[in-house]
Structure 1
């Protein structure tokens, strides 16, 4: 081991295993129980840590005794036996024989993200079988929704309580490593979604022996905030991030809802810690979800942020919806989208009516386009709808949806595809859980009903699926429409291959040259790419035709040819409308 983890069961070179955790408020009699050994007293160490060195093999099961009736898993367990309330297992950190150990990743400018849920894909083995298809499509960075151990066999992953333990429902640690290893062999990276803003409601024992882990003066939607001011708490999550990036060789992390972390200072510390401990020749990508739109986090520490503003503007343009947070974008969605294409975010400090008139965001125009992840759908924006509807079911015109796909995949922002989107899936994607406690399952149902009761599409209890019903999970598996799945896959492949050949190599140093609305439903945007090339798009998301500027009307095909003729067979398909329809025109002007 070259890194000294502060917590967990760590096999040492001497043959013993060191058990260590932070337990500053442990009850009297707090002890370690390892199979094959009597109860083991824990030596108090500095700063509230306790530890014990035990002669036990890899694979041994262990737990912590809180009182006569209660045992708890290791909060830094690397693997569980029997779910979140069961025993923890000692795991060897370096036993997997990596085939592609020399992989160093790909530049962020190459990124085409594919967000997916491991369970719905058939576990790690199911995802492994899909890797060649995704690589052929043009995906370069697979992004897994959270896999940290959660209660029961079904969960989005955001109810995890053991951040170091990959949930055994999806497969073994070695099967996860093989998935990552084989992806690397296909020149594809793998990112992991991690949750550092809260613990799930079932299986979190930390308050029983480490009460200062949480702060009583700051609340989040999920309970008391995690107290990152505590050095041990800060180290617990820094170690966790490094653990996924080194022992599992993930190529990056996406941090969920960091606006719920009290104070952004810790995020800077985390990024700097990781950069210091990752070899400089590796590409490791750090991405945020942050409703605060903090541009300062993207000025060297983090590579990008999910661009909710651009999504919301596009969603309004495509669907006409204006309730909930869409109200902030629905009045002038084309202008909102134009600003997002030119400057990243719409909200850069102005007041948000949906958020009670509170200011939101920081200026983002100086950030590069690649600092923003652009998506049409994701787990939140689909699964947090009352019916879990996908855009293929919401947009009345396939041509308008294809125009949005072309804008997403060919613009200089980093595209993210949500599982099934590339096949035109129309099956819903729901929020799902598998809580064993009936009271907790009912509380989740009631909370969802309260949340959606004010939305116009909510038609009472029958319109909202039961998150705890196994049928809700099964209904969320993406199934392609047999009639047009092949056409959608072809369109995505053509566009992504265009991006790979003509746009991605020119993204380093790309800058916006401005954008504007065209009428109520159209946008124009332009960027200067590396080497002086200029990329221009005209996009129309409305039902009526929009006239191009007179200077382009006579030569649209000639200009478009500059972009499309470089990929065999692409020019005719795109210019004639099989992919982009009449709704988008792309120009790539080479420097003189």
Structure 2
């Protein structure tokens, strides 16, 4: 009989992670090409030598029920968790746990998803909202506003108990501080009952700085010749590494019935062939379902948005042009939008990207992007705020605290009624003014490095050019920084809810039905100001026509 993961028929046998063989038997595998021997440890039992399976793989079988704790012993006192563990106990340095993906009894077994054109997506952080159960409690309220999907920031296991999620080190295991794997399945099930899709942010371009053990037994997992902001690039072109991430994507989509994935910063993968192959594999593996794939791609590459590849890209150009118009800020990555922001916004509305091959100051003058006007507007996801653009501010300010309310309402109207797919950030729908700060839970020297590095990062930005000013930047590792980031309703929360409800009703009734085959007829700048020179601080929605 062909091996099937978790006892589910109709799938090819995976390379990574535990595999249920039936009758309580589980196969364990690890790719450790730098090691000559690997032993399997199951909690309460003596280690058992695993067998070399060729090409750097080691395999072993054992009796193990769901909940059994296990790990791998490589040499002497070096023990490591399974990098493809489906659950983890005791943190990323603790024991891996066998999970039964068939244990949850789905209440929505016939759910096949929502069409892409109907999406209004709300990005949320599970930890700030009370874990998976806390997010589930809020779903009905979001659905009542007209939101049709949520996007979870990364939920895979990370160091400590609080993190944005982009420092994850065990990509297959939901972090235990948010809840169990079945708690996540229950969240997805509840969303589907309410007609909501669920997206998940996944990070395939790097691992976090604490708990990533792969490099100690599989240096080939990384490409030392290609560098990223986090170190050597992940070698996704190698078959075992490709399988690691392809199986991860399929696990979320199959075992958790997630409706779509947002791939973080794919420009740092430096491998478009991997992206195209991954998209093709997902499309082939899940016929008959609305499964959506979204990119964050600084390269503004329209080729990745071709049919049967990726549904859309986060359009940071839209955000940056509009942010300059609303706030007058022109530092940091807004430098590229300091000149003629209204013209750049008009190009986003008409053609998708503002940068389509022009030189970019933030890229040392190198060309960025390629022509995108041939793509339908639904290939672009637009937003006013997200975790990056809010949390990467030194003090985490939201637009509600930076911009006049009338201007912000006008910008929100533009976002929700233009044909691009709108993305909201948790708290926008209630006019939240609480900050969203960068937070983590590192300790000792690493905590000092993260805190000091964070403060030094802003040394050249207005208002933080001296040591005393930088000391005001919250310590990412402090519990208070995490607690302050919970999105509390603003003083006019009811008014914002009413506005979102009204605008989204219009979108679903008047905009969505016309999106099939939609093309943009054009956009132009109007108004009395010279938009070629940009706009001074304080100029806002009255010039966004």
Shared fold per TM-score greater than 0.5:
yes
Question: For residues 33-72 of structure 1, what are the alpha-carbon distances to aligned partners after superposition, in whole Å with 9 as ceiling and x for unaligned?
Answer: 1124321111111322110011222211101112322211
Q: Any gaps of 5 or more consecutive residues in structure 2?
A: 1-7, 532-537
- 1:273 Cα deviation from its structure 2 partner: 0.7
- Give the distance between the partners of 1:508 and 1:442, measured in 2 at CA: 52
- Give the distance between the partners of 2:508 and 2:177, measured in 1 at CA: 35
- Give the distance between the partners of 2:209 and 2:175, measured in 1 at CA: 16
Larger relative contact order (C-alpha < 8 A, sep ≥ 6)? Answer: 2
Tell me if structure 2 keeps the 8 A contact 1:304–1:371. yes
Residue in 1 aligned with 2:476?
467
Q: Structure 1 residues 545 and 233, CA, compared in 2 at 3 Å: closer, same or farther?
A: closer
Q: Structure 1 residues 418 and 522, CA, compared in 2 at 3 Å: closer, same or farther?
A: farther
- 1:354 Cα deviation from its structure 2 partner: 2.2
- 1:543 Cα deviation from its structure 2 partner: 5.8
Correspondent of 1:343 among 338, 351, 360: 351
Correspondent of 2:26 among 17, 21, 46: 17
Matched, 1:254 2:254: no
Matched, 1:450 2:433: no
Q: Structure 1 residues 249 and 543, CA, compared in 2 at 3 Å: closer, same or farther?
A: closer
How large is the RMSD of aligned CA atoms in angstroms? 1.5
Query: Residues 172-571 of structure 1 correspond to what in structure 2 (within 5 A)?
Result: 172-278=180-286, 280-300=287-307, 301-395=309-403, 397-436=404-443, 438-458=444-464, 460-481=469-490, 483-519=491-527, 542=539
- Give the distance between the partners of 1:146 and 1:466, measured in 2 at CA: 21
- Give the distance between the partners of 2:278 and 2:25, measured in 1 at CA: 30
Question: For residues 386-422 of structure 1, what are the alpha-carbon distances to aligned partners after superposition, in whole Å with 9 as ceiling and x for unaligned?
Answer: 1100001111x21111000000000000001100011
SS at match of 1:354: helix
Residue in 2 aligned with 1:150?
158
Tell me if structure 1 keeps the 8 A contact 2:259–2:290. yes
- 1:511 Cα deviation from its structure 2 partner: 0.3
Q: Which has more radius of gyration? A: 1
Normalising by structure 1, what TM-score? 0.87
Residue in 2 aligned with 1:527?
none
- Give the distance between the partners of 2:541 and 2:176, measured in 1 at CA: 52
Question: For residues 270-304 of structure 1, what are the alpha-carbon distances to aligned partners after superposition, in whole Å with 9 as ceiling and x for unaligned?
Answer: 000111111x2100000000000010000120000
Tell me if structure 2 keeps the 8 A contact 1:317–1:521. no
- Give the distance between the partners of 2:183 and 2:91, measured in 1 at CA: 18
Residue in 1 aligned with 2:64?
56
* Ranges of 4+ aligned residues in structure 1 off by more than 6 Å: 520-523
Normalising by structure 2, what TM-score? 0.94
Question: For residues 353-390 of structure 1, what are the alpha-carbon distances to aligned partners after superposition, in whole Å with 9 as ceiling and x for unaligned?
Answer: 22110111011000100000010000000000111000
- Give the distance between the partners of 1:340 and 1:48, measured in 2 at CA: 48
- Give the distance between the partners of 2:244 and 2:306, measured in 1 at CA: 25
- Give the distance between the partners of 1:508 and 1:522, measured in 2 at CA: 36
Residue in 2 aligned with 1:526?
none
- 1:478 Cα deviation from its structure 2 partner: 0.8
> Would you say how many aligned residue pairs link Structure 1 and Structure 2?
526
Question: For residues 542-566 of structure 1, what are the alpha-carbon distances to aligned partners after superposition, in whole Å with 9 as ceiling and x for unaligned?
Answer: 46967xxxxxxxxxxxxxxxxxxxx
SS at match of 1:518: coil
Q: Structure 1 residues 341 and 473, CA, compared in 2 at 3 Å: closer, same or farther?
A: same
- Give the distance between the partners of 2:541 and 2:107, measured in 1 at CA: 54
Q: Any gaps of 5 or more consecutive residues in structure 1?
A: 524-540, 547-582, 585-592
Residue in 2 aligned with 1:72?
80
- Give the distance between the partners of 2:31 and 2:516, measured in 1 at CA: 43
Q: Structure 1 residues 47 and 521, CA, compared in 2 at 3 Å: closer, same or farther?
A: farther
Tell me whether 422-431 or 62-71 shows the greater mean CA deviation: 62-71
